[in-house]
A and B are shown apart, each in its own frame.
Chain A
Amino acid sequence: MTCQISLDRINKYYGAYHALRDVSLQIDQGQFVALVGPSGCGKSTLLRTIAGLEGITDGTITIAGEDVTHLAPRARDLAMVFQSYALYPHMTVRRNLTYSMRLKRRTRAEIDHAVTEITRITGLEGLLERYPRELSGGQRQRVAMGRAIIRDPKAFLFDEPLSNLDAALRVHMRAEIRKLHNRLGATSVYVTHDQIEAMTMADHVVVLRAGRVEQQGAPLDLYDRPVNRFVAGFIGSPAMNFIPATVTPDGGHVSLELPGQPVLRFGGRRPAGEAVMVGLRPEHLQTGPSPDAANRLTLPVAMIERTGAQSYVVCDTVPEVMVSAPVRVEDTDEIVLGIDPAQLHLFAPDEAGLRLDI
């Protein structure tokens, strides 16, 4: 696989504010990459620097082997879908779709052919002569997508393209975009603050915090082996539970700072007496009929939320422990939870919260 977009130690300042810090990223041809992170972490800024809409202070951007760091957006041959869609309000859907082709002075026949093709793909038949203000939110979104794919660019850039849609349409469009990606095989960079969107759509997920890449890799790698507490808490829903604990003298167990000081085995070795932060995903706390007899946790229950397929049990502890069970949990005062030692994560208790090898 060839590398399509390569970012080498990108730094970006807005005045004195350091918005991107040493961001390096390799995006392969045909890969679908998601940039995730909390609001204000620099996702849009990073995407806009790739597009050339924002200059960078330091670093190199290479697209398809060409150094484009100082090139104008139009010389980079990328297509971008904006969060607000940015459809040209004074042009019909047809003229919106063909804007880039008309700029390149394509022939009438080429343009008509492309429009037919794109309307079929995006399902915009019958809407071509309408103005953007005469379309629904979902239709506008399709026009924005159509305007990008008609270009056949070197890569697609998406800045939260689904965040203005309602929940049902969002799930639908999520699948559509991914299908489209599989069909076109084009390189895509997708910004979202929704980690579920990132996990379900992307081949490669990049987690950003405060302008810095915290971790990048395949979605399930991030889920299985988060490098620090931030990534562990950000990936997965509901978020991972963190419980302060101390390693027992035998070095193979942790004693949790919960009522009754329960002890859990973690299937590895750490120095005795070390203070750690135990990470347990809500979906890994088993409420089933025969939880592992050796590794049990009995906790008081504060509240049970049932959504039908899932039950969420909130335990009455400090810090609060959340359990996500794929069964209907009966009303109860106490819940017995079984824990697989392989699904127990250990992190350093300090600010950085790095993952501790077990």
Chain B
Amino acid sequence: MLRKYGLLAIALGIVALYLFPLYWMYVTALKSGTEIFANPPTLWPHDPQIRIVEVWNRLRMDVYLRNSFLIAGGVTVIVAALGTGCAYVLARIRNRWMDAVLFAVLMMQVLPSSLMITPIFVAFNQMGLLDTPRLAVVLAQAAKVLPLYIVLVRASFLQVPRELEEAALVDGNSRIGAFISIIVPLARNGIMVSSVLIFLQSFGEYVYSRSLISERALQPATVGLQSFMGPNSSDWAGVMTYSAIYITPILIVFVLLQRKIVSGLTSGALK
């Protein structure tokens, strides 16, 4: 009994520690300029001020967020289009070569963006891709997250019994037809959840956008926020409001899909 409550207390403590920055972001967004620097700091704003509209207009967040959506959406479409078929092949064909391919795919996932950006920059520059910098970011980011998508979706394909596909083949369908009408609908959950994860990851992408997009009007929200946080800037309330506007929709999506995400991620692992 004591042990149970003790563990619960530790768990709650750790969760609180993790969530504290999030809490601090929201609270600071509501504080006035003087209260932010008050010592000792206040845990709850005395005089909450909502600056959403003002920050939105002043920082031209509509442009930044539009770019973020374009980039994340583009990445998700490319990754889903290329990765789904690849994951399926890796799920169905089992031999030593496929194991090697899977390992290589996982290795690609390990390389950090900050390491990859220099060669990518040089290559894209030579190919003239930097003239369309958002496309360049979409391509670079898609290459980065594709392995993660493949690994996740492969796990849900592994759960679809092979006999269903074989029944469809005998019933007169082609391989592609069976894949589209039987396999994909049955792995729908996994594909959807993985796509959402890829979208959210790309929505928060920073390194590639920062390095490849120099024009202000084409930058996503992550880069926009950074440029607004100069060494002399002390508008912490503005920064935090910006962050809150940016993060809240993501949080809502996560909470709504939370159950599906968890089941989508563990399906395949538990078998």
Contact = CB atoms under 8 A, between A and B. Distances in A.
Contacts of B214: none
Contact of B174 (A74, A82, A99): A74
A89 B186 contact: yes
A151 B171 contact: yes
A170 B163 CA distance: 22
Interface string B10-46: 0000000000000000000000000000000000000
Interface of B: 161, 163-164, 166-174, 177, 182, 185-186
A88 B164 contact: yes
Given A84-B161, A86-B163, A90-B186, A99 B168 contact: yes
A55 interface: no
A53 interface: yes
Nearest to A76: B170
A80 B164 CA distance: 12
A103 interface: yes
B187 to A, nearest CB: 11
Contacts of A108: none
A72 B169 CA distance: 8
A90 to B, nearest CB: 5
25 contacts: A48-B166, A51-B166, A52-B170, A53-B169, A72-B169, A73-B166, A74-B172, A74-B173, A77-B172, A79-B170, A80-B167, A80-B170, A82-B163, A82-B166, A86-B164, A86-B167, A88-B164, A88-B167, A89-B186, A90-B185, A99-B168, A99-B171, A103-B172, A147-B171, A151-B172
B190 to A, nearest CB: 14
A51 B167 contact: no
Interface of A: 48, 51-53, 72-74, 77-80, 82, 84, 86, 88-90, 99-100, 103-104, 147, 151, 157
A103 B170 contact: no
Nearest to A99: B171
A157 to B, nearest CB: 8
Contacts of B173: 74, 103
Contacts of A99: 168, 171
Contacts of A100: 171-172
B20 to A, nearest CB: 44
Contacts of A147: 171
Given A84-B161, A90-B185, A103 B177 contact: yes
A80 B167 CA distance: 7
Contacts of B174: 72, 74
A103 B174 CA distance: 10
The 10 closest A-B pairs by CB, nearest first: A86-B167, A86-B163, A100-B171, A73-B169, A74-B172, A80-B170, A103-B172, A90-B185, A73-B170, A100-B172
Most buried by B among A51, A52, A90, A151: A90
B172 A104 contact: yes
B38 to A, nearest CB: 58
A147 B172 CA distance: 12
Contacts of A53: 166, 169-170
Nearest to A77: B172
Given A89-B186, A90-B185, A103-B177, A84 B169 contact: no
Most buried by A among B170, B174, B186: B170
Contacts of A78: 170
Given A73-B166, A80-B170, 8 more contacts: A72-B169, A84-B163, A86-B167, A88-B164, A88-B167, A103-B172, A103-B173, A151-B171
Nearest to A48: B166
Contacts of A89: 164, 186
Given A86-B163, A86-B166, A103 B171 contact: yes
A51 B170 contact: yes
Contacts of A79: 170-171
Contacts of A90: 185-186
B235 to A, nearest CB: 53
